[in-house]
């Protein structure tokens, strides 16, 4: 075992002494710099776009309403005139934007009160007028808490008087109305401001949308229900509700992908938005590892150093194992360097705030918290499966063909084109393509039921990968251990 360790160290020294290796390590760092730099440029562009967003002026809204005279145009004119006279903002993320909605509702209730009074329904007319007066008071005082309570009380009254045969489009069902009532009460009781720029307000709307989506999915006929979609919707609801109840703004989650609160274009990208998707750069690192793997054995033959290597009192299989171990460990060393530099650069470009953001996941019917750094590390490891498989293929080809150019060239070509080939096979209904290794390397997608071939399972994918890896390793073993050296 000690001899094997010494051989591994010797292989490391040979790899690190090559100028090409130093260049590759620098390239890994540059990939991290380039990735974070491009995302920073994206952030600046989004902020410029958000800052230059066009908002139709109140005068334009009034003129268009008078010109088109669509249904309810008089209310639009009254509300817009009121908002203009009181200098209420038109930007959705400003603190007094809620007054837009309140003003329109106020004038709608005033118009409704007049119609009801003309129709002789004095009781209902008084209710509408009272609601309009309450809204007017909240608007004048700019009291959003009062506005929240008015919404909750109004929906509660509607729910109490709800009848299926008098259903209106705003309330598609009793269940949908109850969801809206729950959200309004929660917003009022927890004093969540009705500002689009407030993350809790956006999250409350997300919870409401998740509940509605779950009702929609479960409302389908039993034979047409999508069980996976229902399970995903249930998990999404559990996580969004957990965040709301525990006041968690920034987090990561496998269910929703890259998440950093309810994304605000004016704030732009933040640390976890960028770092969680940095595994995309592993494709470039894979190419570098294939280059190393493709020359690890063949270079010994082309340079003639294999003879000096084999005259040592060490069995060939130990040399073979040492070379493969050095390949794997060096591959993960490059991944570690890339991972650490992405942490550093994401922090420099986007700030080190919220480093303690939890990773939220569902186990059974409970939401559990984990480390977001470990979550991203797991994404790196899963994304590296394709890299290790193709590096092993290039390693085997290097042992058999003993040509660095062929091993590296074919390895890179298959790695870059393999996924496209199986995609074409899937589109062409060539089902045997599921047995090709590239169909089985996207383990995350397969685990979530999004495999390129229908019905492909994680167990099947892992079995296919194991078979290919055994074939590659046995081929490499035969080419190095059993063949004669001339």
pLDDT tens per residue, range 303-318? 666 655 666 666 777 8
Among the listed residues 414, 274, 441, 413, the one whose alpha carbon sits nearest the alpha carbon of residue 352: 274
**Are 289 and 376 in a shared domain?**
yes
Residue 8 resides in a domain: yes
Whether 192 shows a pLDDT value over 90: the answer reads: yes
**Model pLDDT for residues 320-363, shown as the tens digit of each residue:** 888 898 899 999 999 999 999 999 999 999 988 888 899 999 98
**Are 436 and 350 in a shared domain?**
yes
For range 250-275, the mean pLDDT: 70
Whether 9 shows a pLDDT value over 90: the answer reads: no
pLDDT of residue 265: 59
pLDDT of residue 172: 62
Residue 97 to residues 255, 408, 476, Cα–Cα distance (Å): 32, 60, 68
pLDDT of residue 335: 94
**Are 399 and 443 in a shared domain?**
yes
**Per the structure, how many domains does the chain have?**
2
Residue 165 resides in a domain: no
CB atoms within 10 A of CB 406: 16
- Among 35-49, 128-142, 256-270, 458-472, the least confident range: 256-270
173 alpha carbon, distance to own chain's centre: 32
**Are 69 and 14 in a shared domain?**
no
Residue 419 resides in a domain: yes
Distance separating alpha carbons of residues 41 and 473, to the nearest angstrom = 44
pLDDT of residue 110: 92
Sign of the dihedral defined by the CA atoms of residues 25, 257, 41, 267, in that order: negative
pLDDT of residue 132: 92
For range 141-156, the mean pLDDT: 93
Mean pLDDT (the chain, rounded): 85
**Are 315 and 368 in a shared domain?**
yes
Among the listed residues 200, 197, 167, the one whose alpha carbon sits nearest the alpha carbon of residue 183: 200
Place of tokens 């088109």: 68
Give the percent of the chain with pLDDT over 90: 37
For range 176-183, the mean pLDDT: 90
Residue 397 resides in a domain: yes
Among the listed residues 304, 200, 307, 308, the one whose alpha carbon sits nearest the alpha carbon of residue 249: 200
- Among 58-62, 140-144, 368-372, 404-408, the least confident range: 404-408
Place of tokens 């150093």: 305
**Phi, psi dihedrals of residue 172, rounded to the nearest 5°:** -65, -30
Whether 102 shows a pLDDT value over 80: the answer reads: yes
Confidence of residue 185 (pLDDT cuts 50, 70, 90): very high
**Are 15 and 123 in a shared domain?**
no
**Are 8 and 137 in a shared domain?**
no
**Are 72 and 25 in a shared domain?**
no
Residue 164 resides in a domain: no
**Are 463 and 335 in a shared domain?**
yes
**Are 300 and 360 in a shared domain?**
yes
Residue 230 resides in a domain: no
Residue 127 resides in a domain: yes
Whether 106 contacts 150, CB under 8 Å: no
For range 40-54, the mean pLDDT: 81
Whether 137 shows a pLDDT value over 50: the answer reads: yes
**Are 40 and 101 in a shared domain?**
no
Last residue of a domain, one of 75, 110, 142: 142
**Model pLDDT for residues 220-240, shown as the tens digit of each residue:** 777 777 787 888 888 889 999
Question: Which of 123-137, 262-276, 400-414, 469-483 has the highest average model confidence (pLDDT)?
Answer: 123-137
Residue 149 resides in a domain: no
**What's the whole-model pTM score?**
0.84
**Are 283 and 406 in a shared domain?**
yes
Structural domain for 301, as ranges: 2-49+274-482
Last residue of a domain, one of 73, 108, 142: 142
Confidence of residue 166 (pLDDT cuts 50, 70, 90): low
pLDDT of residue 258: 35
């Amino acid at each position: 075992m000690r001899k094997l360790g010494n051989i591994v160290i010797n292989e490391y020294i040979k790899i690190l002494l090559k100028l090409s290796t130093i260049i590759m390590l620098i390239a890994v760092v540059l990939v991290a710099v380039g990735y974070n730099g491009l995302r920073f440029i994206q952030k600046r562009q989004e902020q410029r776009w958000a800052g230059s967003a066009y908002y139709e002026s109140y005068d334009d809204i009034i003129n268009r309403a008078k010109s088109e005279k669509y249904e309810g145009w008089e209310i639009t004119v009254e509300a817009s005139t009121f908002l203009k006279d009181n200098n209420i903002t038109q930007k959705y993320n400003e603190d007094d934007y809620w007054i837009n909605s309140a003003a329109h509702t106020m004038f709608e209730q005033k118009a409704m009160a007049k119609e009801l009074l003309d129709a002789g329904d004095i009781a209902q007319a008084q209710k509408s007028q009272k609601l309009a007066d309450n809204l007017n008071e909240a608007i004048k005082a700019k009291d959003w808490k009062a506005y929240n309570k008015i919404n909750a009380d109004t929906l509660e009254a509607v729910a109490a008087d709800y009848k299926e045969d008098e259903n209106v489009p705003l309330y598609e069902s009793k269940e949908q109305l109850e969801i809206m009532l729950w959200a309004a009460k929660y917003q009022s009781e927890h004093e969540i401001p009705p500002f689009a720029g407030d993350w809790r307000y956006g999250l409350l709307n997300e919870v409401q949308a998740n509940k509605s989506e779950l009702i929609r999915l479960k409302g389908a006929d039993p034979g047409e229900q999508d069980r996976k979609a229902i399970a995903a919707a249930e998990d999404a609801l559990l996580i969004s509700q957990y965040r709301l109840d525990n006041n968690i703004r920034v987090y990561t989650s496998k269910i929703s992908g890259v998440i950093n609160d309810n994304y605000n274009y004016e704030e732009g990208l933040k640390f976890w938005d960028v770092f969680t998707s940095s595994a995309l750069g592993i494709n470039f690192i894979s190419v570098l590892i294939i280059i190393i793997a493709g020359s690890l054995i063949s270079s010994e033959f082309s340079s003639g150093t294999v003879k000096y290597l084999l005259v040592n009192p060490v069995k060939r299989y130990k040399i073979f194992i040492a070379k493969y171990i050095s390949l794997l460990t060096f591959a993960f060393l490059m991944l570690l360097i890339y991972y650490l530099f992405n942490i550093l650069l994401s922090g420099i470009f986007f700030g080190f705030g919220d480093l303690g953001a939890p990773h939220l996941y569902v186990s059974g019917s409970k939401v559990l918290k984990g480390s977001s750094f470990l979550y991203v590390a797991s994404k790196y490891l899963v994304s590296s499966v394709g890299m290790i498989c193709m590096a092993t293929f290039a390693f085997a080809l290097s042992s058999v063909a003993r040509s660095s150019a062929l091993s590296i060239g074919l390895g890179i070509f298959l790695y870059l084109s393999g996924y496209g080939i199986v995609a074409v096979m899937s589109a062409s209904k060539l089902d045997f393509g599921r047995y090709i290794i590239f169909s089985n390397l996207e383990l995350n997608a397969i685990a979530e039921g999004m495999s390129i071939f229908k019905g492909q399972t994680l167990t099947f994918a892992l079995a296919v990968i194991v078979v290919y890896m055994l074939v590659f390793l046995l081929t490499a073993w035969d080419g190095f251990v059993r063949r004669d050296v001339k």
